Structure 1
């Protein structure tokens, strides 16, 4: 299908692409946050223990991260449109099929394996690829906005999913997610070109001397993903960013995203109320991450990361010792929400500076894999600790301490001397 653009749009068509990708990332975020809502209903419906259910969530989170660098290489080689459309279709099929599950391995296969791979291509690495390909100016702001779509997905869908499970069980939730994913397939196929030059444009803010990065040769996408990793792994910057993002995933998706509703249930809070707290975090993360993108265009990203991780660690250590009143939980939700994914724009900028526009999104994909390895560690580990000890205290305190380590690692990153534009 050939895309016809109104002449008045010009380079501003980049914002149309961002809009479509924002909605796709929003829906993928709803899919990834659903296991937190489904945990208790599946436990009640099938008598599966929380450790088993957490295992499926952990596998999904792990594959979600590990798919990223290969998806970025495939986007460079075969185009963004094909990768996004196939990924959305995979998520629609797998979540729809899960409505028929009766055994734990069915949950692992659909929500763990297939959805993990599908959603991994429609994730932070997609945002990084879109921003690097469609923008020269305002990269930090656009990355903040796309990253914030994760929070917006939580904001819109999480309370609704919790209410639906309370009223009608878990099956309507998975069928609803499948329907949303299926509707996005033709939208992405119609409105998302592979790159600006595909529709006769240059990236937003590009000058006359702009040179488009060479694509990864067809048939070499998977090999190139590993080549980019091997080049990056010889640098100190890669490992410091990897450590930071491992902790970022451990403290967000893996711990709070997967176990916060269950923690609140342990303290006597209804699931819908707990989901409302998660939505409040989503609302403030939309603000916090977008502002972080704006700040990343203006300030040293290393110092921003240091501040984000220190504040996150303190809030995690505080939570299990709080009285779990509406006031204390509300303060935590606002504070933590502002910090939830604020780390992404500075991390993307540091990766792009260190590894360039061609390798940058792929290397960021490997760094994001660290994010999801950390998330899987917390999703499984916190579930095991809860099953063994009957509480989440140790999991939250250890996560807070890890955030302090990430803060120190951020200040150790060396930035290259960049040429003036």
Structure 2
């Protein structure tokens, strides 16, 4: 029996997009918390920034590594079931966090459990939803869902930073758990996996048909997809540029901007506000990037995005030293470009590997992104302990972004001769 849940004049897929946006928003807000917790943990537990950064690095890496397998799980068991379970696990790990007393406990809760749980709600989730529900406007949908990460920072970071400063970090954790529980209930009630469940066709078509069942092994199929993709030059270029993307965004700025501001006497709440401002402008920039990816050469878009990001990162050490006005300029300029690279990368992956395979292949590209982020999260913390400054990591990140810009133009236009995991495009 098919559910008839079509709101008059509203395609139900947009409701699903909203629920996915909400899920990714909260998940992103949780992932951004370590940047707020680094200084309180250093004070309360005596852990060095390098040690805390190591835990964050593991979580970032597992967040990315989960992606390809999450794509298979989402297809095998349905998006709603996987998301609800992931939200429950994440809420449980956060609820136990105030009881920890040792670094190894932090490693398990935030490095292992949180990394795996949030990995199920990564960019692969947005790609899967857009592929299931949309044929037209797919780039726009990916842009919107990607931008939810920035919006999560916009809403959560200043609030959680204020709670941490005024009441302590444990109350910030409790607030996050409450938000996760609310989202879990909403998703369980209203989310639908596929247009066929509500008697609809994907947006942009008239054909109402059930989804193609996933028949592969949830562990072996992503690995087979990777082995096939490794033979493809475009995969290496997309993964390479995305490595530098992660190196220069959530691994570096997302993790270390607040501590870097602290080195210059900028209060934690103010620094969190700068990240939130970046989130506001990235919401605009990434959504616009999704719109542009449907209309222009995505390789050229990546060239522009990486080039501008590289210049902004090399400007950051000067901005920190120069004061609030320069930091504000950096936040706006960098924010517009924070993760605008995702929609063109998704589009290029879909063109090269086909819609059915693009979720898993993009999942492996995200692994490269998170390896880069993990390296930056740990490396920048260690370099700060050694050198007493974040200037060198910021300059290095700017230079590798310029390299990524050049790599983007080496990506070939879509080919039609690749078979991934035994399935031809």
Same fold, judged at TM 0.5 (above): yes
- Sort the Cα spacing of 1:172 and 1:16 in 2 relative to 1 into closer, same or farther, 3 A: same
- For the residues of structure 2 that align with 1:416 and 1:167, how far apart are their CA atoms? 53
Q: CA deviation at 1:207?
A: 3.9
Q: 1:254, 1:375 within 8 Å by CA — same for their partners in 2?
A: yes
Q: CA deviation at 1:321?
A: 2.5
Q: 1:3, 1:191 within 8 Å by CA — same for their partners in 2?
A: no
* Partner of residue 88, structure 1: 87
- For the residues of structure 2 that align with 1:408 and 1:97, how far apart are their CA atoms? 45
Match of 1:228 among 218, 225, 229: 225
Match of 1:398 among 389, 396, 399: 396
Q: 1:287, 1:338 within 8 Å by CA — same for their partners in 2?
A: yes
Match of 2:331 among 333, 346, 361: 333
Equivalences for 1:64-79 in 2 at 5 Å?
64-79=63-78
Q: Which runs of 4+ in 1 moved over 4 A?
A: 1-4, 210-213
* Partner of residue 246, structure 1: 243
Equivalences for 1:2-401 in 2 at 5 Å?
4-6=4-6, 8=8, 12-208=11-207, 214-217=212-215, 220-322=217-319, 323-401=321-399
1:179-232 superposed Cα distances (whole Å, 9 cap, x missing partner): 111222121112111211122211111244x876633216x1111111111111
TM-score by length of 2: 0.95
Q: CA deviation at 1:360?
A: 0.3
1:219-277 superposed Cα distances (whole Å, 9 cap, x missing partner): x1111111111111110011100001111111000000000000000011010111111
Bigger Cα displacement from structure 2, 284-293 vs 318-327: 318-327
- For the residues of structure 2 that align with 1:400 and 1:286, how far apart are their CA atoms? 22
- For the residues of structure 2 that align with 1:233 and 1:133, how far apart are their CA atoms? 26
Q: 1:3, 1:190 within 8 Å by CA — same for their partners in 2?
A: no
Query: What is the SS of the residue equivalent to 1:339?
Result: coil
- Sort the Cα spacing of 1:62 and 1:224 in 2 relative to 1 into closer, same or farther, 3 A: same
1:100-147 superposed Cα distances (whole Å, 9 cap, x missing partner): 111111111111110100000111110011111110000111111100
1:7-66 superposed Cα distances (whole Å, 9 cap, x missing partner): 6257x1000000000000000001110000010011111111111111111111111100
Q: 1:20, 1:188 within 8 Å by CA — same for their partners in 2?
A: yes
- For the residues of structure 2 that align with 1:7 and 1:388, how far apart are their CA atoms? 58
Q: 2:26, 2:179 within 8 Å by CA — same for their partners in 1?
A: yes
- For the residues of structure 1 that align with 2:148 and 2:125, how far apart are their CA atoms? 12
Q: 2:281, 2:336 within 8 Å by CA — same for their partners in 1?
A: yes
Q: 1:214, 1:358 within 8 Å by CA — same for their partners in 2?
A: no
- For the residues of structure 2 that align with 1:343 and 1:316, how far apart are their CA atoms? 16
* Partner of residue 408, structure 1: 406
TM-score by length of 1: 0.96
- For the residues of structure 1 that align with 2:362 and 2:392, how far apart are their CA atoms? 31
Q: 1:75, 1:83 within 8 Å by CA — same for their partners in 2?
A: yes
Query: What is the SS of the residue equivalent to 2:33?
Result: helix
Query: What is the SS of the residue equivalent to 2:296?
Result: coil
Contiguous gaps of at least 5 residues in structure 2 = 417-425
Q: CA deviation at 1:3?
A: 5.1
Q: CA deviation at 1:5?
A: 0.3
Q: 1:91, 1:119 within 8 Å by CA — same for their partners in 2?
A: yes
Q: 1:289, 1:341 within 8 Å by CA — same for their partners in 2?
A: yes
Cα RMSD for the two superposed structures: 1.6
- For the residues of structure 1 that align with 2:209 and 2:411, how far apart are their CA atoms? 28
Q: 1:127, 1:143 within 8 Å by CA — same for their partners in 2?
A: yes
Contiguous gaps of at least 5 residues in structure 1 = none
- For the residues of structure 1 that align with 2:19 and 2:251, how far apart are their CA atoms? 27
Q: 1:213, 1:357 within 8 Å by CA — same for their partners in 2?
A: no
Q: 2:17, 2:129 within 8 Å by CA — same for their partners in 1?
A: yes
Number of positions where the alignment pairs a residue of Structure 1 with one of Structure 2: 415
- Sort the Cα spacing of 1:263 and 1:227 in 2 relative to 1 into closer, same or farther, 3 A: same
Q: CA deviation at 1:342?
A: 0.2
Q: 1:213, 1:358 within 8 Å by CA — same for their partners in 2?
A: no
- Sort the Cα spacing of 1:64 and 1:404 in 2 relative to 1 into closer, same or farther, 3 A: same
